[in-house]
Structure 1
Amino acid sequence: MRVLLKGALTMNFADYFPMWNKLTPAQQNTLKDTVTFRSVKKGTVIYNGSMDCIGLLLIQTGLLRAYILSEDGREITVYRLSDMDICLFSASCIMPGIQFDLIIEAEQDTSFWIIPARVYKQLLEASAPLSNYTNEIMANRFSDVMWLIEQILWKSLDKRLAAFLLEEAALQGTEQLKLTHETIGNHLGTAREVITRMLHYFQNEGLVKLTRGTVEITDRKKLAALADA
């Protein structure tokens, strides 16, 4: 994990933090004096439940994946965060009601600011707009969790897989997705072998073309119809 020198710490921070103009000059100065800026490589685990509360993450560029890990080692993605998104759960110590362990990993090379938890908590207690904004983020994240639960309970795997491939194509900006079957399984919370069987079915139906380490979408329209069915 690379830490930049103090002169670069607040680089464009005001442009990325949505509530900047809602803070008083003193509160703005507090943030300027305490935020740190870091860059990590793809695959870096930034936070897990066993780590100390590191603070809130405000992403400048890149992609973070937040997921949970079962006792038998199976992963499932809860949500993903990209440019200008804020991760609250890395500051779970200011939210004592949070009872689950979340792992946050960089899916791409990522740069972000860290707002110390104690500083953010201090600002929350003094700023009603910031408190409302934080509650809104929290509500959105729990909506993501509820959506995920609904998908698992009520939506078949073929539809979930089709939706995931379309989402990934939007993130990568290409129809040729650099994804292993194991990676897809980790996102969807199922075994690699199950994903392999489903992808071969998709290939037989003309929806995708499979090569080593790549899934190419060949019929976006039919894939979208399946995802929305």
Structure 2
Amino acid sequence: MSKQQSSFELNDLRENSHVEQYNGILDQLDLPPGIVEFLQKNQRKIWTVVTIIAVVIISTALYDSYSTYSLNKAAKAYDAALLLEGEQRATALNTVKEDFSSTPSAVWGQIQLTHIDQEAGKYKEAIDRLESLKSELGKEDLLNPLVLANLGALYEQNQQLDKAVAAYELLHKREGYEALALSNLGRLYESMEKKEQAVATYQRYMSLTEKKGEAGPAQNSLARDMVQASLNRILQ
């Protein structure tokens, strides 16, 4: 019995010493009595919350560190892949996608693989790759216009003109890419012998570029001259 009492007394002594130390700190802070009383009554809950917050902060810091490490590693793998040629480059770029799927390097790797397929005349493979990438990126992604422009060109090369039109119409909705989309749409309508739509689209392009002066004076002038020549040819 005396051993049990001594054990309880020891625990009480330890707990009381912690409480006294805690109360001493509160006294030094010179807080209002009401706040001191609240802190004394809820010190266990307060310490629990503080511990949780500390764990969250540490976890976030570790995640940020890991993310930075992964991004750097992915970028190095992508750069190394670009130094290779032929099948070795394609294999290395596919490895970047598999190992670092959620990084910008993986996205650029897929774009490079699309160019490889395109150069080899594998239009279907290139289109499938870009369609998959488009669905992954989302409508507001900064790379989305690049994907749409490439998709439109690939559909043109593969003689899927209706799908090319759809891609360029989506591109037209992105600010800053209206002129590019209109010139491509006009050319498509012309090749599809839809003269009225071609004329209307070319005229919209001329009006837009005259107001905005897009793409710089020299390039804009050349593009406008080409569109004007197309208009003249259709209207003859």
TM-score by length of 2: 0.30
Rg bigger for which structure? Answer: 2
Q: Which has the larger strand fraction?
A: 1
Q: TM-score, normalized by length of structure 1?
A: 0.30
Q: Which has the higher helix share?
A: 2
Structure showing greater relative contact order (alpha-carbon pairs closer than 8 Å, 6 or more residues apart)? 1
